[in-house]
């Protein structure tokens, strides 16, 4: 799992979580974006 945390100019906190969900045939990535101001 990869977590990216970004501060923008307004002081908002943007967290991007990238989770790898592996199925039988292919790799599937689930991306969740959390914004807190």
Instruction: Report pLDDT for 22.
Output: 80
pLDDT at 29: 87
Residue-wise pLDDT for 9-26, tens only, equals: 989 999 999 988 887 888
What pLDDT, on the 0 to 100 scale, is given for residue 31? Answer: 92
| pTM (two decimals) | 0.58
Question: What's 8's DSSP letter?
Answer: -
Q: Are 37 and 11 in contact (CB under 8 A)?
A: yes
- The domain segmentation of the chain, as residue ranges, is 2-36
Q: What is the chain's Cα-based Rg?
A: 13
| 20/34: higher pLDDT | 34
């Amino acid at each position: 799992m990869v977590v990216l945390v970004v501060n923008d100019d307004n002081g908002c906190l943007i967290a991007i979580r990238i989770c790898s969900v592996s199925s039988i045939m292919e790799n599937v990535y689930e991306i969740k974006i959390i914004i807190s101001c």
